[in-house]
Amino acid sequence: MADLSHQSAPGPRAAIAIVATLGLLAAAWAVLGDGVYLWVKAAHIIAVISWMAGMLYLPRLFIYHCDAPPGSPQSETFKVMEQRLLTVIINPAMALTWVFGLWLAWQAGFFSSGWLHAKLALVVAMSGVHGFFSASVRRFAQDANTTSQRTWRMWNEVPTVLMIAIVLLVVLKPF
């Protein structure tokens, strides 16, 4: 079994990161005034790219992991890769995407817009898939995955479809 015991729980670290980000946001706003909007949008897009990179790669690791016999060196390597991808990239990137996105929506007064409601529904669905993948990392770590490789191949497409719909909604703002 891979030794992942040195990994601390993400909860407190995520909370500290969010509070620190909000503090930085407030300071930047005080210095830059309204010009901060485009900087925050750039930060939002960078966070989105990082979140999506992880959400597209993690199920691909699960697909390969299904082929590795439990206890084999390959299986142990996949466990470390999955755990690190989740805690170092995917979790913080999701938190930052939410913080920056909600701030942008509040600043621009988009909360009454239909496109944002639809986008938020899809981002909540993406966050749910994130939660499911996160639980799956724990199951793989315990050699307790019961999902077939074929089913993982289907899950692999879900974040892609959601991402395409979300980007079309925010760029085209169709309603």
Q: Does 53 help bind ligand HEM (rule: CB under 6 A)?
A: no
The whole-angstrom separation of Cα 115 and Cα 136 is: 31
Half-sphere exposure for 167 (CA within 13 Å, toward CB): 10
Residue with smallest beta-carbon separation from ligand HEM: 101
How near is the Cβ of 36 to ligand HEM at its closest, in Å? 13
Q: Does 96 help bind ligand HEM (rule: CB under 6 A)?
A: no
Cβ-based burial of 109 (10 A; exposed 0-12, middle 13-18, buried ≥19): exposed
Q: Does 125 help bind ligand HEM (rule: CB under 6 A)?
A: no
Candidate list 26, 108, 121, 168; residue touching ligand HEM; CB under 6 A? 108
The whole-angstrom separation of Cα 121 and Cα 114 is: 11
Q: Does 102 help bind ligand HEM (rule: CB under 6 A)?
A: yes
How near is the Cβ of 129 to ligand HEM at its closest, in Å? 11
Q: What share of the chain is helix, strand, coil (3-state, %, to 5)?
A: 80, 0, 20
Nearer to ligand HEM, 110 or 155 (CB): 110
Candidate list 57, 110, 115, 155; residue touching ligand HEM; CB under 6 A? 110
Size (the chain), residues: 175
Q: Does 13 help bind ligand HEM (rule: CB under 6 A)?
A: no
Q: Which of 18, 16, 167 is nearest to 103 (CA)?
A: 18
Nearer to ligand HEM, 85 or 104 (CB): 104
